Amino acid sequence: MSPADLPASIPLFPLPGALLLPRARLPLHIFEPRYLAMLDDTLKTQTRLIGMVQPMAGRLHDIGCAGRLTQFSETEDGRYMITLSGVSRFRIQREVGGFTPYLKADIQWHEFERDLGDEDEDPEFDRETFLALLSRYFTSVGLSTDWESLKEADDELLINSLSMLCPFEVEEKQALLEAPRLCDRRETIAALMEFACRGGSTDEVVQ
């Protein structure tokens, strides 16, 4: 998509801990009636965009990420299994009232035009050191993975996939979303993993 293709308003899907990043894919299971209605309406639009956003303390974070609906299948009982492909982050300007059971908002995209370009690069990425830290982190939280796939993954795919999949808190996920560049996201996730390995609080990392 180009900036001209992006709409001025999109539906919002507030889901704690569900992080979407540009050029990444997020599988979702849709079953609540209001979000089934959102999905039906989204399929009728040209862009098929849904905005993923983190809720906090009775309101929404200002920055989210829009994903294009690229895969969906319907179960026999009327639920949907969908995949959103990350397009661009956005900033919420205002929520839009109306007759829909789900949230919609007017948004602006211009802060994140870089998201529509090529994959981001991290020239200073020390993969060996990072994977050693990742191994310690996975051991500390009781996770396992396919290490061969991780070793072969491109830098952006590796960092963004871990940002989305690791069991970080909502505010930590938001910090990863708002990281300006891939190098910033890598530094943030490394700090979060280091603190988790030490058994300490990560509050100072995301403030």
Burial bucket for residue 177 (CB in 10 Å: 0-12, 13-18, 19+): buried
Q: Per the structure, how many domains does the chain have?
A: 2
Asked which of 99-108, 135-144, 163-172, 186-195 is least confident by mean pLDDT, the reply is: 135-144
pLDDT score, position 187: 97
Asked whether residue 181 is domain-assigned, the answer is: yes
Q: What is the pTM of this model?
A: 0.90
pLDDT score, position 203: 44
Using alpha carbons, select from 142, 198, 200, 135 the residue that is nearest to residue 167.
142
Q: Give yes or no: residues 84 and 179 share one domain.
A: no
Q: Give yes or no: residues 149 and 80 share one domain.
A: no
Asked whether residue 122 is domain-assigned, the answer is: no
- Contact by Cβ (8 Å): 137, 42: no
Look at residues 116, 141, 170 and tell me which one is the last residue of a structural domain: 116
Could you report the per-residue pLDDT of 105-127, keeping only the tens digit for each?
A: 999 999 999 999 999 999 999 99
Instruction: Tell me the residue range of the domain where 76 lies.
Output: 3-116
Q: Give yes or no: residues 158 and 105 share one domain.
A: no
Could you report the per-residue pLDDT of 77-103, keeping only the tens digit for each?
A: 888 999 999 999 999 999 998 889 999
